[in-house]
């Protein structure tokens, strides 16, 4: 007997899902144990989808009608956005129907509500496609690593910003030109602010941190800085010092507390994340037993994301009707979220100072007063002024902020030109 699937959304991802299900019908049926068929599709304009291999009677503009249809056993949500996706998914879960979703925004903001609903009815909510496009991340984090207590996660989870930073690093292209190229190639959306400001990466960071540390982390828990203040000068100094600049999602477990943040960071060139170029994504995790793991691939795009959706759909279809969640998401708050002031990192600073004897001692004094240990310093004369490039050892964010205040108050300091975290080294 055929298993009926309801599809919510038929944009880039939804269309690719329909194509893959058509191409791999036989293979999918063998893995599921029976054929699956998309019996209803909710779209904004039901008359506008003549090119899809489905009759016009399959289309509706009402997601709830799809969800409630007796023919529909599993729901695939690829419409994106909060509403009506949220209401439709909750209704499907309430009816005991398994749901596959690619909606990271919804999970990062309303995840706890959805996963609680899934846990209550045992229906199962599958979301491999919500983070990292076609990269298998969710399944390995949930199912392959119960024998490990991960301690750190570093991710390049936004293709747009990684493309821009790669062009700046490898070709010396300006930020604006690199962004224009990303838009031309389809890597950046017409309004790229969610990407550039790190909102997209922070949503993914919340989901990944939840899974890695088995506790609820939502978008609001993630500290966030975008790449708009990264200059070609920073990128060039990074190169000279043996680093590359990346927008990183960082999640750490320290003393039982979870720290989660998104910001530009310098990564050592021999770190595996440094080789993640262009619009590629990668997530790097580490723990005391497994050592270091990295998952790499295309983090966006219709076809890669659709591959992840189909993988989840096969699992959901196999489990349909069984009261056993395919995956369990930690929607309960099991751990404290560490505030940004108490997070730790290494820091890179670029400081303009007047070029006269005793300056370095004054600058070093400011660091010492706040217990920030300098790991390396490099001075470059520029006429009457000099440029100091400093890299610290791992230090507390609050202490670093104190150091910055002191530096800015010094007569010999003309300007603190740049501050950036350094990750992946210690």
Burial of 361 (0-12, 13-18, 19+ CB in 10 A): exposed
Q: How far is the CB of 189 from its own copies (least distance, A)?
A: 19
Q: Which is nearer to its own copies, 248 or 400 (CB)?
A: 248
Give the chain's length.
426
Of 53, 55, 146, 358, the residue at the interface with its own copies (CB under 8 A) is 146
Pairing type for strands 291-298 and 152-156 reads unpaired
Q: Which is nearer to its own copies, 277 or 393 (CB)?
A: 277
Residue 243 to residue 83: CA distance in whole angstroms: 42
Asked whether position 296 contacts its own copies by CB under 8 A, the answer is yes
Q: Find the part of the chain contacting its own copies (CB under 8 A) among 21-29, 203-211, 231-239, 389-397.
A: 21-29
Q: What residues between 26 and 65 interact with its own copies by CB under 8 A?
A: 27-28, 31
Q: Which is nearer to its own copies, 114 or 244 (CB)?
A: 244
Sign of CA dihedral 131, 120, 311, 41: negative
Q: How far is the CB of 267 from its own copies (least distance, A)?
A: 12
- C-alpha distances (whole Å) from 202 to each of 229, 258, 259, 329, 419 are 17, 14, 12, 18, 20
Asked whether position 121 contacts its own copies by CB under 8 A, the answer is no
Q: What residues between 264 and 293 interact with its own copies by CB under 8 A?
A: 270, 272, 274-277, 280, 282, 287-293
At what angle are helices 12-23 and 302-319 packed, to 10 degrees? 60
Total of residues contacting its own copies (CB under 8 A)? 55
Asked whether position 155 contacts its own copies by CB under 8 A, the answer is no
Q: Which is nearer to its own copies, 146 or 357 (CB)?
A: 146
Q: How far is the CB of 385 from its own copies (least distance, A)?
A: 38
Q: Find the part of the chain contacting its own copies (CB under 8 A) among 13-21, 101-109, 113-121, 254-262.
A: 13-21
Of 64, 90, 303, 364, the residue at the interface with its own copies (CB under 8 A) is 303
Residue 59 to residue 79: CA distance in whole angstroms: 14
Catalytic residue list contains 97: no
Asked whether position 222 contacts its own copies by CB under 8 A, the answer is no
Asked whether position 83 contacts its own copies by CB under 8 A, the answer is no
Contact 79, 63 (CB under 8 A): yes
Contact 137, 214 (CB under 8 A): no
N-term to C-term CA, the chain = 56
328-338 burial: b if 16+ Cβ within 10 Å, else e: bbbbeeebebb
Q: What residues between 336 and 365 interact with its own copies by CB under 8 A?
A: none
Q: How far is the CB of 411 from its own copies (least distance, A)?
A: 45
In the three-class reduction of DSSP (H, G, I as helix; E, B as strand; rest coil), residue 224 is classed as strand
Q: Find the part of the chain contacting its own copies (CB under 8 A) among 188-196, 202-210, 299-307, 410-418.
A: 299-307
Asked whether position 383 contacts its own copies by CB under 8 A, the answer is no
At what angle are helices 159-171 and 175-184 packed, to 10 degrees? 130
Burial of 46 (0-12, 13-18, 19+ CB in 10 A): middle
Q: Which residues bind its own copies (CB under 8 A)?
A: 16, 20-21, 23-24, 27-28, 31, 128, 134-136, 139-140, 143-149, 214, 270, 272, 274-277, 280, 282, 287-298, 301, 303-304, 306-311, 313-315, 328
Catalytic residue list: 204
């Amino acid at each position: 007997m055929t298993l009926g699937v309801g599809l919510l959304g038929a944009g880039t991802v939804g269309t690719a899902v329909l194509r893959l299900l058509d191409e791999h019908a036989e293979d999918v049926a063998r893995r599921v144990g029976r054929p699956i068929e998309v019996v209803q599709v909710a779209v904004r304009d039901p008359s506008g989808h003549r090119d899809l291999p489905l009759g016009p009677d399959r289309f509706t503009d009402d997601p709830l009608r799809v969800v409630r249809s007796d023919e529909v056993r599993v729901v695939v949500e690829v419409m994106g956005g909060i509403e009506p996706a949220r209401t439709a998914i909750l209704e499907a879960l309430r009816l005991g129907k398994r749901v596959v979703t690619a909606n990271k925004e919804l999970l990062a903001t309303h995840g706890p509500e959805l996963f609680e609903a899934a846990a209550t009815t045992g229906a199962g909510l599958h979301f491999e496609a919500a983070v990292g496009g076609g990269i298998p991340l969710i399944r390995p984090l949930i199912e392959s690593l119960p024998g490990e207590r991960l301690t750190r996660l570093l991710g390049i989870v936004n293709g747009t910003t990684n493309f821009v930073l790669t062009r700046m690093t490898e070709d010396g292209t300006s930020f604006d030109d690199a962004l224009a190229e990303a838009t031309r190639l389809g890597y950046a959306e017409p309004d790229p602010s969610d990407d550039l400001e790190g909102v997209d990466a922070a949503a993914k960071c919340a989901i990944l941190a939840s899974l890695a540390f088995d506790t609820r982390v939502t978008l609001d828990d993630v500290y966030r800085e975008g790449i708009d203040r990264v200059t070609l000068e920073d990128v060039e100094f990074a190169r000279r010092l043996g680093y590359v600049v990346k927008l990183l999602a960082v999640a750490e477990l320290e003393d039982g507390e979870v720290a989660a943040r998104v910001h530009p960071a310098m990564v050592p060139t021999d770190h595996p994340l440094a080789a993640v170029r262009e619009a590629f994504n990668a997530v790097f995790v580490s723990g005391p037993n497994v050592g270091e793991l990295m998952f790499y691939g295309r983090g966006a795009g219709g076809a890669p994301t659709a591959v992840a959706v189909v993988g989840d759909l096969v699992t959901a279809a196999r489990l349909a009707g069984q009261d056993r969640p395919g995956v369990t998401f930690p929607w309960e708050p099991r751990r404290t979220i560490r505030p940004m002031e108490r997070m730790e990192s290494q820091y890179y600073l670029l400081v303009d100072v007047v070029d006269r004897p005793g300056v370095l001692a004054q600058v070093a004094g400011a660091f010492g007063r706040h217990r920030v240990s300098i790991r390396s310093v490099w001075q470059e004369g520029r006429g009457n002024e000099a440029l100091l490039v400093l890299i610290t050892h791992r230090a507390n964010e609050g202490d670093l902020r104190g150091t910055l205040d002191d530096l800015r108050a010094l007569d010999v300091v003309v300007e603190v030109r740049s501050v950036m975290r350094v990750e992946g080294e210690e």
